[in-house]
Amino acid sequence: MDNTLFPLLLYLFFSLLSTPSFSLSISAPTNTTNGYFSLSFPSFDASFANTNLTVFKPASIASNGALQITPDTQNDGYSLTQKAGRIFLSQPFPLWENTSSGVRLATFSTAFDINIYRPNGSLPGEGFAFLIASSLEQPPPGSENEYLGLTNLTLNGNPSNKFVAIELDTVKQSYDPDDNHVGLDINGVNSTVANSLTPFNITISPAIAIGTNYTVWIDYNGSSRHIWVYMAIQGNPKPAKDVLNAPLDLSEVINPKAYIGFSASTGITYELNCVLAWELMVEKLNKDKTGLSKATIAIIVGLSCSISAILALLLLAFYIRRKQVGDDPAMLKGTLRSLPGTPREFDFKELKKGTKNFDETMKLGQGGFGVVYKGVLVGDNGQDMAVAVKQFSRTSTKGQEDFLQELSIINRLRHKHLVRLQGWCHKNGVLLLVYDFMPNGSLDQHLFGDPEKPILGWDRRYTIVTGVASALHYLHNEYDQMVVHRDLKASNVMLDSQFNARLGDFGLARALETDKTSYAELEGIPGTMGYIAPECFHTGKATRESDVYGFGATILETVCGRPPRCDIAGFHFLVDWVWKLYREGHILEAVDQRLDGNFDEDDADRLLRLGLMCSHPTPGERPKTQAIVQILSRSVPPPEVPPFKPAFVMPAAEPDNESDSSRLRSSSYTVSTSDGWTYSSNYASKEHLTNDGSIV
Ligand SMILES: *[C@@H]1O[C@H](CO)[C@@H](O)[C@H](O)[C@H]1NC(C)=O
Ligand SMILES: *[C@@H]1O[C@H](CO)[C@@H](O)[C@H](O)[C@H]1NC(C)=O
Ligand SMILES: *[C@@H]1O[C@H](CO)[C@@H](O)[C@H](O)[C@H]1NC(C)=O
Ligand SMILES: *[C@@H]1O[C@H](CO)[C@@H](O)[C@H](O)[C@H]1NC(C)=O
Ligand SMILES: *[C@@H]1O[C@H](CO)[C@@H](O)[C@H](O)[C@H]1NC(C)=O
Ligand SMILES: *[C@@H]1O[C@H](CO)[C@@H](O)[C@H](O)[C@H]1NC(C)=O
Ligand SMILES: *[C@@H]1O[C@H](CO)[C@@H](O)[C@H](O)[C@H]1NC(C)=O
Ligand SMILES: *[C@@H]1O[C@H](CO)[C@@H](O)[C@H](O)[C@H]1NC(C)=O
Ligand SMILES: *[C@@H]1O[C@H](CO)[C@@H](O)[C@H](O)[C@H]1NC(C)=O
């Protein structure tokens, strides 16, 4: 290898890596009430080293946001050859346990993006592995070259190693099929099973200038004790055919609690063993005792881009096939069944029984798209399991489209502050979605809906706002195709048993990249007066900025304990009253009186100012979710708010939507809001102009 060429190639490589395909605030592997640990790293930050991740040098977290399991530069005095490195999640995961009925193993799924770059003209070396190890240890001495950072000449094959790995090996040893294979390694690098990747048209480390990003999926079923590995070029769906599968009883190899990570080595030749993104879900064995999460969880993981690609393809296939064969419910079901990783299908009888035949007494609420019931189902171990069942009111094709849309969106969104979809059911044209039951209902009920409920304390309110912000930040930034929620309001903020916020109702969410963000298309404005950004009445278009507006309204109602549309001190909107108090220097008077002064003044000031700034009539002046998250974490000061609420200025028509008449229908369609009002948009915009232009 010509060393003068190398920095240039490296520069090229990094400049190509420098625009991350997705970015978000990463949720650490925390307990959920869902029955699994879940974590997602859309990219990596150097600050994760030795907190969330344990990095054994010469592995590193590079400034481009990737894990480099072996060195990526010749800085720091490293040469690139003859190196072995490892990076683990710092927290161990319980992967199996002894129970009275025998050994129980955790099911898990993971997906990660890799780029095993090698300079053109050189040979790759040596290999990369996904590793499950019994202890948090650095690679043993002598584990470079063929040992992949997993083991060494003396230890190879020794049962005391207690590790399982999936190797992607780029050098052929005498025991290997070739120099481009995937293998299952148990306690050693002589793979138990190994398959060449060449027949799959996969070259782990191709001889091209920037390498190829691949997505690798690894699924382990703890019940059937079997492992599957899938691989595709990044951005492609998870293939139907695995590249390797094998029986595997983890309890025979590793400790009950084990560490999950990556390992790699170079030899006399080298490659960059680079992980770009990572997602992992591990079933929790010790279920919590709240009784809500005892079902066996269908564990679904995929990198967002891959899943969205699959869903896009499947939806397309569905529409095309439906055109050919008509509206066949069996077809819909067939399509859904074939969605990889789809939450499970529920039996209609089960849901009917669980909701007492959809009895009024089981009704939890009513949204724009249907009625929500509480259901009590029988969990896997025979215990009761509470769920929320959403019944779609429209059973026409339109309903099915809504259904598929909701499913496709929810399915790919995973965040601890989003309500989780458990499954679905389609029977006689009735579509049902089954969600985690939220024992504490929705936020609005606690703020002003139900006088019987105890007052929501200040700390909880602050935590709820923070949770909603983090969910919104995730929705807006996680994917290449960002998602707008469109219907952010207190009644869509659900509360789990710990009063953590869980954002629900993605029925109206759409990927922003399409034209389909028009409000008009949904036959009315989905949302409630006071939550809808003023520009929406003119553009009819939901945007991230209009979501932030809805978030601002939600903050204000959470702090003030009043809905956004309320008559107070001569004002018709909460935001106008708060703005006046702010201008007059006593903003804290806006805080819910029922708290009796039990709140943190700095935090209340922060929330109220943030709420006002998010309610700014000019979309571009509203803070972005990134800034919101920072303000809420108190790492930056609250925003400067102008003393007078600026006037709303009609936005200039965007060049790309002039021809789309559906977006400009604001003078002719009827607005139905979920609190039962109906009024024409003329009225609505007049109301808003008054609201924005002068102080009533
Ligand atoms: C590989 O992934 C990185 C980071 O996600 C991205 O910047 C780059 O464009 C990808 N390269 C290719 C060839 O897709
Ligand atoms: C990393 O760990 C810290 C401390 O445990 C935690 O606060 C933070 O959220 C984690 N960050 C990520 C990105 O997981
Ligand atoms: C997480 O779960 C463990 C065991 O299930 C429990 O001991 C711990 O308190 C939980 N932590 C949180 C933050 O809920
Ligand atoms: C599990 O049970 C087996 C057999 O009863 C026993 O030999 C083993 O030590 C147990 N392992 C753990 C981790 O409890
Ligand atoms: C392999 O690792 C073990 C444990 O660290 C060490 O004792 C042994 O010397 C190493 N063998 C070689 C060949 O380096
Ligand atoms: C691995 O394969 C090599 C070469 O065939 C052999 O010498 C060695 O004993 C094998 N090791 C184990 C643990 O099977
Ligand atoms: C691999 O590529 C060849 C030629 O492009 C094609 O004929 C073959 O079907 C491909 N195989 C797979 C498994 O994709
Ligand atoms: C790789 O190098 C060979 C000659 O060594 C050259 O022909 C080829 O075009 C190069 N490929 C790329 C992608 O740079
Ligand atoms: C795991 O295997 C069991 C038994 O074969 C099967 O019933 C279950 O559906 C599988 N789970 C998943 C998530 O595939």
Q: Tell me: the pLDDT tens digits for 246-281?
A: 999 999 999 999 999 999 999 988 899 999 999 988
* Percentage of residues in the chain having pLDDT higher than 70: 71
Torsion sign across C-alpha atoms 30, 34, 36, 39: negative
- From 531, 532, 471, select the one nearest 496 (Cα to Cα): 471
The percent of residues in the chain predicted with pLDDT above 90, rounded, is 40
CA distance 162 to 155: 11
Q: Which atom of ligand 5 is nearest to the CA of 155?
A: 1
Q: Is 160 in the pocket of ligand 5 (CB under 6 A)?
A: no
How far is it, in rounded angstroms, from Cα 633 to Cα 643? 25
Do 258 and 395 share a domain, yes or no? Answer: no
If asked whether residues 394 and 448 sit together in one domain, one would say: no
The alpha carbon torsion through 565, 568, 574, 579 (nearest 10 deg) reads 150
- Please state, in angstroms and rounded to a whole number, the distance separating the CA atoms of residues 595 and 371: 33
Which domain covers residue 526, as residue numbers?
443-689
Q: What pLDDT shows up at residue 394?
A: 54
**Domain presence at residue 114:** yes
Residue 424 has pLDDT above 70, yes or no: yes
Q: Is 390 annotated as a binding residue?
A: yes
User: Quick one: 380 and 450 in the same domain?
Assistant: no
What tens digit of pLDDT does each residue of 29-52 get?
Answer: 333 434 778 888 888 988 888 789
- What confidence score (pLDDT) does residue 47 get? 87
In 3-state terms, what secondary structure has residue 315?
helix
| Token reading at 37 | 């640990």
The larger pLDDT score, comparing residue 561 to residue 533, is at 561
Place of tokens 């584990």: 143
Ligand 4 midpoint to CA 98 (Å): 6
In whole angstroms, what is the distance from residue 321 CA to residue 300 CA?
Answer: 26
Q: What pLDDT is recorded for position 29?
A: 32
Residue 80 CB-half CA count within 13 A = 22
Query: What's 431's domain CATH number?
Result: 3.30.200.20
Q: Give the helix/strand (H/E) hosting 467.
A: helix 458-477
Answer with the residue of higher pLDDT: 534 or 664: 534
Question: Residue 258 pairs with which residues in a beta bridge?
Answer: 93
Three-class HEC string of 554-619: HHHHHHHCCCCEEEECCEEEHHHHHHHHHHCCCHHHHCCHHHCCCCCHHHHHHHHHHHHHHCCCCH
Lowest mean pLDDT among 150-154, 416-420, 561-565: 416-420
More confident residue, 488 or 86: 86
Q: Is position 186 within any domain? A: yes
Ligand 7 centroid to 479 CA: how many Å? 30
Structural domain contains residue 377: yes
Judge if 111 and 180 occupy the same domain.
yes
The answer to whether position 557 is within a domain reads yes
How confident is the prediction for the chain on average, in pLDDT? Answer: 75
Is the pTM value of this prediction over 0.85? no
Question: Which ligand does the CA of 192 lie closest to?
Answer: 6
| 15 assigned to some structural domain | no
The mean pLDDT value for 520-542 works out to 60
Across residues 337-354, what is the average pLDDT? 71
Which residue, chain included where needed, has tokens 């079902």? 295
Is the same domain home to 421 and 488? no
Let me know if residue 337 belongs to a domain.
no
Same domain, 472 and 402: no
How many other CB atoms sit within 10 Å of the CB of residue 20?
14
Six-digit token string for 9: 């190639």
Q: Which helix (H) or strand (E) holds 545?
A: helix 544-560
Same domain, 503 and 549: yes
Ligand having the closest approach to the CA of 153: 5
Q: List, for residues 577-609, the tens digit of each pLDDT value.
A: 999 999 999 999 999 999 999 999 999 999 999
Ligand 6 probe mutation, 148, 152, 156, 172, most atoms within 8 A of CB:
156
Q: Is the pLDDT of residue 121 over 90?
A: no
- Inside any domain, residue 24: no
Give 255 Cα–ligand 1 centroid separation in angstroms.
36
Decide which of 436, 460, 480 is a domain's last residue. 436
Q: Which ligand is nearest to the CA of 145?
A: 5
Judged against a pLDDT cut of 60, whether residue 408 lies above it is answered with yes
Q: Contact 277/61 with Cβ under 8 angstroms? A: no
Domain count, the chain: 3
Residues 541 and 563 in one domain: yes
Look at residue 379 and tell me whether its pLDDT is greater than 70.
Answer: yes
Same domain, 619 and 598: yes
Tell me which amino acid residue 396 is. Answer: S
Q: Long-range contact list for 686-690, CB < 8 A, 24+ apart?
A: 687/529, 687/572, 688/534, 688/537, 688/648, 689/648
CA distance 397 to 322: 10
Higher pLDDT, 370 or 17: 370
DSSP 30: B
Q: Are residues 65 and 207 in the same domain?
A: yes
- CATH, residue 563: 1.10.510.10
* Phi and psi at residue 110, to the nearest 5°: -145, 155
Output the pLDDT for position 529: 65
Atom 6, ligand 7: residue with shortest CA distance: 201
pLDDT at 513 over 50: no
Per-residue pLDDT tens over the stretch 124-183? 989 999 999 999 999 999 999 999 999 999 999 999 999 999 999 999 999 999 999 999
For residue 108, give the H/E element and its range.
strand 108-117
Boundary of a domain, candidates 283, 306, 330: 283
Task: Please answer whether residues 423 and 345 qualify as being in contact, where contact means their C-beta atoms are separated by less than 8 angstroms.
Answer: yes
Q: Which atom of ligand 3 is nearest to the CA of 288?
A: 5
> Is the C-beta atom of 240 inside 6 A of ligand 7?
no
List active site positions: 487
Q: Which of 6, 120, 123, 210 to mutate to test the pocket of ligand 8 (most atoms within 8 A of CB)?
A: 120
Q: Does the pLDDT at position 485 exceed 80? A: no
The residue out of 384, 409, 436 marking a domain boundary is: 436
What secondary structure letter does DSSP report for 65? Answer: S
What is the atom index within ligand 7 of the atom nearest the CA of 241? 13
What's the CATH number where 176 sits?
Answer: 2.60.120.200
Region 327-347: what's the mean pLDDT? Answer: 52
**Whether residues 459 and 404 fall in one domain:** no
The residue type of 620 is G
Q: What is the largest CA-CA distance in the chain?
A: 85
Residue 397 shares a structural domain with residue 423: yes
456 is a domain residue:
yes
Task: Name the one residue in this structure whose structure tokens are 């669980």.
Answer: 354
CA of 313 to the centre of ligand 8 (A): 34
Please tell me what DSSP assigns to residue 56: E
